[in-house]
Amino acid sequence: MSEKSWKEVPIGGLIVEPGNSKNYKTGSWRSFKPVWYEDRCIQCLACWNSCPEPSIFVVEGKVTGIDYDFCKGCGICAEVCPEKAHAIEMEPEF
Amino acid sequence: MASLKELAAREQKLAPGHRACAGCIPALTFHQVLRSAPGHVVASCATGCIEVVTTIYPYTAWKIPFIHNAFENSAATISGVEAAYQALKRKGKVTKDIKFIGFGGDGGTYDIGLQSLSGAMERGHDMLYVCYDNEAYMNTGIQRSSATPFAADTKTAPVGKVRKGKKQYPKNLTEIIIAHDVAYAAQASPSFWRDLNKKVEKALSIEGPAFINVLAPCPPGWRFPTEMGIEMGKLAVDTCFWPLYEFENHKRKLTYKPKEKLPLSEWTKHQGRFRHLHQEENKHLLELAQQEVDRRWKELLFLCGEPA
């Protein structure tokens, strides 16, 4: 977050934008990253439903990718992905 | 009951970018509960992990009205808001249909917030209280609470040469709330999302006080790998440590009965806080913990009118 002068801070120090935590990227916490393979995905949405962030992109009921801005790399998505699909794999970040 | 596709299409009430640990199941619990509540929701939260991680200044993860008051009065706060809403609605100043959900961790519910929760349940407000039970004061560094299981290692009930973790069995809060004869009470787990979704929808549709106790595994507190959170919840249910049941119309009903009741060691062996239980000299403690789980499970089966 860029620094603000006291004149720019809302009165009372209020936070005026709901859900502004989306400006704080937690993706740098990650040491392992999930990689999603579209061809193997059966679109069960189990990963989205189990992600604590949530950092799985879902557009019109379909998974379209992983939001690396916020993913903390816990690996739950790869764990809950059905065995027969195995569409998410964890890979080292560095 | 909504499908995952329908849930994904709803507007999410909690934004990403909160500072919960990797693999935090309490955060997932909040997502799953709030997704199950379409429409207007006002939430309050007792001091605890999720209150802290979602509201680190100058950020907030909440997209809905959110009130944090103090550690002990999440239920009192939300019940007051509900009473004000009822008065304004009566006068025709508010026409919207609004639901009220109070949240609290096990510290803010089992221990510190019990009196305010009891009061709110007894007064019969039209609200839902959700306790995310991660079985210790995780936010301040894993101190024991009255929800911590028997023999678990915590910072204030540590494992040493003489003392082997917590000496007491966990308090059965769901039964305490049921004793208030509330409109709806249930135990749930985010590992069984369909069951949790159904219970939240039911609790919000019923007029009167409702309570849902959710077991929320905590990777750093319970000391298991971050990807195991969903599995931990499943095992807790399958070992009958955390039975899924509900209380409605003065009757208890099991909503999930494990096909095969697993031994408690299947659940404890993955967790660092129970590591000492799997050493030869502490086998008797595991035996005691198993006996207590069996006793409570048998009692619950009897209360639910199920064959033992």
On whether residue B308 sits in a domain, the answer given is no
Q: What's the average model confidence in pLDDT over B273-295?
A: 95
Domains held by chain B: number: 1
Q: What is the pLDDT of residues B114-127, one digit of tens each?
A: 999 999 999 999 99
Task: Identify the three-state secondary structure at position A40.
Answer: helix
Distance CA B57, CA B35 (A): 25
HEC states along chain B? Answer: CCCHHHHHHCCCCECCCCCCCCCCHHHHHHHHHHHCCCCEEEEEECCCHHHHHHCCCCCCCECCCEECCCCCCHHHHHHHHHHHHHHHHHCCCCCCCEEEEEEEEHHHHHHCCHHHHHHHHHHCCCCEEEEEECCCECCCCCECCCCCCCCCCCCCCCECCCCECCCCCCCCHHHHHHCCCCCEEEEECCCCHHHHHHHHHHHHHCCCCEEEEEECCCHHHHCCCHHHHHHHHHHHHHCCCCCCEEEECCEEEECCCCCCCCCCHHHHCCCHHHHHHHCHHHHHHHHHHHHHHHHHHHHHHHHHCCCC
pLDDT of residue B176: 96
User: B206: buried, middle or exposed (CB in 10 Å: 19+, 13-18, 0-12)?
Assistant: middle
Cα distance from B34 to chain A (closest Cα, Å)? 12
Contact A31, A93 (CB under 8 A): yes
Look up the CATH number of the domain holding residue B297.
Answer: 3.40.50.970
Torsion over CA: B269, B270, B275, B279 (sign): positive
On whether residue B242 sits in a domain, the answer given is yes
State both tokens at A5.
């002068």
State both tokens at B27.
């955060």
Task: Name A84's Cβ contacts closer than 8 Å, sequence gap at least 6.
Answer: A42
On whether residue B72 sits in a domain, the answer given is yes
Task: Identify the three-state secondary structure at position A76.
Answer: helix
Task: Identify the three-state secondary structure at position A88.
Answer: strand
Q: What is the pLDDT of residues B121-160, one digit of tens each?
A: 999 999 999 999 999 999 999 999 999 999 999 999 999 9
For the domain made up of A27-92, give the CATH fold: Alpha-Beta Plaits (3.30.70)
Domain region containing B130:
4-303
- Is the per-residue pLDDT at B186 higher than 70? yes
State both tokens at B162.
């003489």
CA-angle at B132, arms to B97 and B282, nearest 5°: 165
Q: What is the pLDDT of residues A11-67, one digit of tens each?
A: 988 899 999 999 999 999 999 999 999 999 999 999 999 999 989 999 999 999 999
Distance CA B117, CA B168 (A): 23
Predicted ipTM?
A: 0.93
Nearest to B8 among A18, A30, A58 (CB): A58
> In which element (H, E) is residue A36 found?
strand A32-36
Among B2, B64, B23, B69, CA closest to B216: B23
Strand partners, A48: none
Distance CA B155, CA A82 (A): 37
- Is the per-residue pLDDT at A3 higher than 80? no
On whether residue B263 sits in a domain, the answer given is yes
Cα distance from A17 to chain B (closest Cα, Å)? 8
State both tokens at B160.
């040493």
Give me the residue spans of the domains in chain A. Answer: 27-92
User: Residue B110 to residues B30, B71, B94, B259: CA-CA distances in angstroms?
Assistant: 18, 12, 34, 30
Task: Identify the three-state secondary structure at position A32.
Answer: strand
pLDDT of residue B222: 96
Cα distance from B9 to chain A (closest Cα, Å)? 7
Bond before A54 cis per omega within 30 degrees: yes
* B59 touching A (Cβ < 8 Å): yes
Determine how many CB atoms are found less than 10 A away from the CB of residue A4.
Answer: 10
pLDDT of residue A1: 56
Strand partners, B62: B14
Distance CA B219, CA B25 (A): 8
Q: How many CB pairs under 8 A join A and B?
A: 113
Nearest to B227 among A45, A53, A75 (CB): A75
Please report which confidence band the pLDDT of residue A93 belongs to, taking 50, 70 and 90 as the band edges: confident
pLDDT of residue B171: 94
Q: What's the average model confidence in pLDDT over B41-62?
A: 94
Q: Which residues from B are below 8 Å from A54, CB to CB?
A: 12, 16, 31
pLDDT of residue B63: 96
Q: What is the distance of C-alpha B4 from the center of its chain?
A: 22
Please report which confidence band the pLDDT of residue B238 belongs to, taking 50, 70 and 90 as the band edges: very high
Nearest to A49 among B63, B64, B193 (CB): B193
User: What is the average pLDDT value for chain B, to the nearest integer?
Assistant: 95
